[in-house]
Amino acid sequence: MTEISRRNLLQIMGAGAVAAVGPFGMAGKAFAAGRAKELNILCWEGYNSAQVLDPFRGSEKATVKAESLTNDPTMINRLRAGETNVWDLINVNNPWARKIMAPAGLIKPLPKAEFEPFFDKMLPEFKAPYKWAMSDDGKDLLGMAQRFGPYSFVVNTKKISRKTAEEQGWDLFNDPKLAGKYGILESDDWNVFNIFMVAGINPFKEHTPEEMKKFDETAQRVFKGAKMVGDIATMNQALISGEIDCHLTGGTYSVSPARADGYPEMRAVTPLKGPIDGKGGISWIEITSTVNNPNLSPLATEFLKYVQDPKVAHTVAFAEGTFNPVAQMGNKSCFDLFTKEELDAIQYDSLEEEMSRSAEYDIVPDYDKALDIMTAAKRLRG
């Protein structure tokens, strides 16, 4: 057994600490210096696919890592928890950049002169200054738009006609006869919006106790009556097998894989009317922003330019997972790349009218309270 003095012990502990931290510290320096050929993207699925990333990796000879998540709050949380020094780009739905991330200093503006001209080639509703890409004061460009779509609910039109679904709208889920014949997509933030919609309440405002009580009752009833709560694969499988006739929370984003697989009777529906200033549906628009990373990779802005290319935009629209319209379809050379089958999969025939009937995704001021109520309602299913 060796005996050592206290001083030696402290020296060993100090050496141990250096040994433990040293490599990380040095890696940190190397990390900063070597970021010219490195890009980290936090995104919804699609942007992480090899189809999208490999050509960029090849042309830039860069290491590009992308992590895909399927809800906005988790991604925002990652930045809040201190991962701003990890990520270069964040791809989330429209209100987060303008209302949450920019005020919290989690993202940084894009060079306006370089990026604003891209909006001129997008579909008409995205023309600069596009509201969701701009800061609240309208001075800064906070991100670029690409994928979007209406997102309310999905029906099997062989069981419930499109006309009936559009006319009845959210009341469809208030009909006791539908109990056991519908599913709910496990997208809890969107389910909060949609339970409010079924209750006939505008989700994107502060709610009174009476409205919250109605939300609670509706959540309990709707979740109790659902055949299952599951992911997109489960919903599409259940629709195709006849297990369910429709499902809550869904749109071109979720049903397009089933439509592309040869089930055009599965259709995303936007109600004709609803509680958001008369609008019956809700739509989403993805905004991709540069993270407020102290060592932001120069490739971040290059990647944003790369995905504006018509061919790449088309690849993004049909990357693995889900298929979606893209703002770049406003450019004829991009639109011409879409085949008839692809346009049918993303319901291009009704895209414009469905978007016009939809309110844009927004922040629910009392989301935390509503989510707690909804989670408690889910527990009562068992």
Partner 1 sequence: MADVALAAPRTESQSAPKRTVAIPAGLRCASPVILFLLLGFIAPLLTVVAYAFATPRSFDVFRSFTLENFATIFDSSNTVWMSFAWSLAFAFCTVVLLALVAYPIAYGLNRVFGKWSGLISVLFVFPLFVSENVRLYGWTLFFIKNGVLDGTLKTLGLAGGPEVLFTPGIILFGMVYVYLPFMLFPMTLGLAMVPRDLVDAARDLGAGRLMIWREIELPLAMPGILIGMLLTFVLAAGAVAEAKILGGQSVIMITHDIEIAFTYSQNWPLGSALAVLLMIIISGLALFVMSKLDLDRILGKR
| Positions that interact with partner 1 (CB under 8 A) | 1-6, 9, 16, 20, 71, 73-74, 76-77, 80-82, 183, 186, 188-189, 226-231, 233-234, 237-238, 241-243, 368, 371-372, 375-376, 378-382
Q: Least distance in Å: CB of 245 to partner 1?
A: 12
d(CA 121, CA 130): 12
Nearer to partner 1, 243 or 344 (CB): 243
Phi, psi of 288 (to 5 degrees): -105, 125
Residue 347: CB minimum distance to partner 1, A: 25
Q: Which is nearer to partner 1, 27 or 233 (CB)?
A: 233
C-alpha span between 150 and 251 (Å, rounded):
6
Q: Is the CA virtual torsion 171, 177, 182, 184 positive or negative?
A: positive
CB 306 to partner 1: min, Å: 30
Nearer residue to partner 1 within complex by CB, 294 or 382: 382
Residue 182 or 338: the one with the smaller Cβ distance to partner 1 is: 182
Q: From CA 228, how far away is CA 208, in angstroms rounded?
A: 30
DSSP structural state of residue 130: P
Amino acid letter for position 282: I
Separation CA 52–CA 101 (nearest Å): 25
Q: Which of 134, 130, 165, 129 is nearest to 150 (CA)?
A: 165
Nearer to partner 1, 15 or 50 (CB): 15
- In this structure, the number of other CB atoms found within 10 A of the CB of residue 188 comes to 16
Distance of closest approach, residue 27 Cβ to partner 1, in angstroms: 15
Q: CB 111 → partner 1: shortest distance, Å?
A: 31
